[in-house]
Amino acid sequence: MKGRYDSAPRTPPPQGPKHVVLAVDDDHNNLKLVSASLTLEGYEVVCASSGEEGLEVLEARQIDLLLLDVRMPGLDGLEVCRLIRAQPKFARMPIVFLTADNADVEHTIAGLDAGGDEYLHKPISRRMLSARVRNLLRLANADRERQLLLQVAQSEKLAAVGQIAAGVAHEVNNPLSFILSNLESLRGYVNDLMRVVRAYRMNSETGAALDRTLGLDNLMSDVSPLLDETVQGGSRVRAIVQELKTFSRQDTDTFEPVDLAEVARCTLVLTEREVASKATLVKELSMARVDLAPRQKLHQVMLNLLVNAIHAIEAKPAPPGERHTIRVSTRTENDVAILQVQDTGIGMPESVKSRIFEPFFTTKPVGVGTGLGLSVCAMVIDRLGGRITVESEAGKGTTFTVRVPCDAEMRPAPTPPARAAVG
Ligand SMILES: Nc1ncnc2c1ncn2[C@@H]1O[C@H](COP(=O)(O)OP(=O)(O)OP(=O)(O)O)[C@@H](O)[C@H]1O
Ligand SMILES: [Mg+2]
């Protein structure tokens, strides 16, 4: 049955495991108080009664947030905080100082300078503590999620490059072999020409005789097309290298005007031969300009959709005498830039279609698919206020449609890191 799914927000993920808070204080009553109040809020609280013990706990188990008394015998809170911040693995850990010191600016600044995020004065109100802890954990979670998505996007990009590496080797090898063979012919021609010039310099008769023997007229008419072909080959290699550079560049997220037609064209520079060897490639590339978008990421989206289309046609042999079709089209409709990748491949049953935007969902064998391609596509497009939708029929084929508002002003306010897209 034909159906549509999209990357629109889904139900929020179930609550994860409890956050773990480490409270370090030499005063047992304080520890009891803090622990009781945060346990009531649903946190797991681990207590340590000295700075040294706190450091041991931090090494031994996963802690999400640290509450640190300032004045303690042995290592005091400020020293503990400095020691923790000196370790890159704890650079992002939220740290809240709890202190009985006067609420003066100097103490607070000393705490913040040591690397603390908050400075709370005792007696601490239960509501204040709970609000600060909740806010800091929310920020830390958003930060962690962002880091994770960046990693996923980067590894996905590397995987995509890996997947096309063989194709690229072939792409570069072809023009290079005819460039080399043309240069070999041109070397022979130049040698013959020099021999004839030398002969003419001796006397015109010897020169004319050698000219005829070597068939200089034919040779000269051959030179120009050979040179043209060689230059074309070189340009092709340069275009491929240029395109590869886009993929290998670190993710800088530069936003610039991007035409989806151009993105499609560039991605096809790398893959066109491979696609054309397996299917009839139809290109309908009309202008589809988006005023501000990360070009690299859109290349990645296009490549992911194309690789999926290739896999889909490989999974279903074309009927005898027929060829599969992969159609890549771009256009603008009502201020929305549209990119479509359509294939006549294996298609998807409902059970697959409903899960394709889930990270790591794949029906492909290990080593072929990681299941990240479409979730990354959805994340990229979602951040541009766009949509990626799919229409598919098992055994018939699939169409992915990417829609992005042309004008950044028309986009909805950015959502928190892509939860809606990859949820
Ligand atoms: N054009 C298509 N035709 C049929 N099925 C598709 C198509 N595109 C995606 N799928 C299905 O969606 C699944 C998820 O696709 P996705 O691109 O996210 O991961 P993948 O292709 O399996 O692995 P990779 O991370 O290498 O891209 C695929 O395993 C496949 O079952
Ligand atoms: Mg894929």
- Written as tens digits, the pLDDT of the chain (423 aa) is 333 334 433 333 334 568 899 999 999 999 999 999 999 889 999 999 999 999 999 999 989 999 999 989 999 999 999 999 998 888 888 999 988 766 677 777 888 888 899 888 878 888 888 899 999 998 888 877 777 777 777 776 666 666 556 556 766 777 888 899 999 999 999 999 999 999 999 999 999 999 999 999 988 898 998 999 899 888 878 877 766 665 555 455 688 999 999 999 988 887 887 888 899 999 999 999 999 999 888 988 999 999 999 999 999 999 899 999 999 999 999 999 999 999 999 999 999 999 998 877 889 876 566 777 888 888 889 889 999 999 999 999 999 999 999 987 776 654 443 333 322
* Separation of CA 282 and ligand 1 centre (Å): 21
* CA atoms lying within 13 Å on the CB side of residue 57: 22
Buried b (16+ CB within 10 A) or exposed e, 354-381: eebbbbeebbeeeeebbbbbbbbbbbbb
Buried b (16+ CB within 10 A) or exposed e, 6-24: ebeeeeeeeeeeebebbbb
| Inter-residue contact 309 to 274 (CB < 8 Å) | no
Is 94 close to ligand 1, i.e. is its CB under 6 Å away? no
**Closest Cα partner for 330 from 408, 248, 259?**
259
The CATH architecture of the domain made up of 20-124 is 3-Layer(aba) Sandwich (3.40)
Residue with token string 């503590």: 129
Q: Residue 256 belongs to what H/E stretch? A: strand 255-259
| Inter-residue contact 98 to 122 (CB < 8 Å) | yes
Residue with token string 């999974």: 315
Is 308 close to ligand 1, i.e. is its CB under 6 Å away? yes
| Inter-residue contact 304 to 373 (CB < 8 Å) | yes
* Separation of CA 363 and ligand 1 centre (Å): 7
* Separation of CA 367 and ligand 1 centre (Å): 13
Per DSSP, the three-state class of 163 is helix
Give the number of whichever ligand sits closest to the CA of residue 367: 1
The CATH label, of 3.30.930.10, 3.40.50.1220, 3.30.43.10, 3.30.565.10, for the domain at 252-422 is 3.30.565.10
Cα–Cα distance measured from residue 248 to residue 245, given in angstroms and rounded to the nearest whole number: 5
Q: How far is CA 62 from its chain centroid?
A: 28
Mutation test residue for ligand 1: of 374, 377, 402, the one with most atoms within 8 Å of CB: 374
* Separation of CA 248 and ligand 2 centre (Å): 18
Residue with token string 């491949």: 345
- The protein residue whose alpha carbon is closest to atom 31 in ligand 1 is 363
* Separation of CA 397 and ligand 1 centre (Å): 13
Tokens of 76: 């005091």
End-to-end CA distance of the chain: 25
Give the number of whichever ligand sits closest to the CA of residue 400: 1
Tell me, what DSSP letter sits at residue 125?
P
- The protein residue whose alpha carbon is closest to atom 1 in ligand 1 is 309
Is 398 close to ligand 1, i.e. is its CB under 6 Å away? yes
- pLDDT at res. 7: 44
Tell me, what DSSP letter sits at residue 280?
E
* Separation of CA 1 and ligand 2 centre (Å): 22
- pLDDT at res. 67: 95
* Separation of CA 355 and ligand 1 centre (Å): 10
DSSP 390-422: EEEETTTEEEEEEEEESSGGGSPPPPSTTHHHH
- pLDDT at res. 242: 67
Q: Give the number of the atom of ligand 1 that is nearest the alpha carbon of residue 375.
A: 18
Is 346 close to ligand 1, i.e. is its CB under 6 Å away? yes
Is 288 close to ligand 1, i.e. is its CB under 6 Å away? no
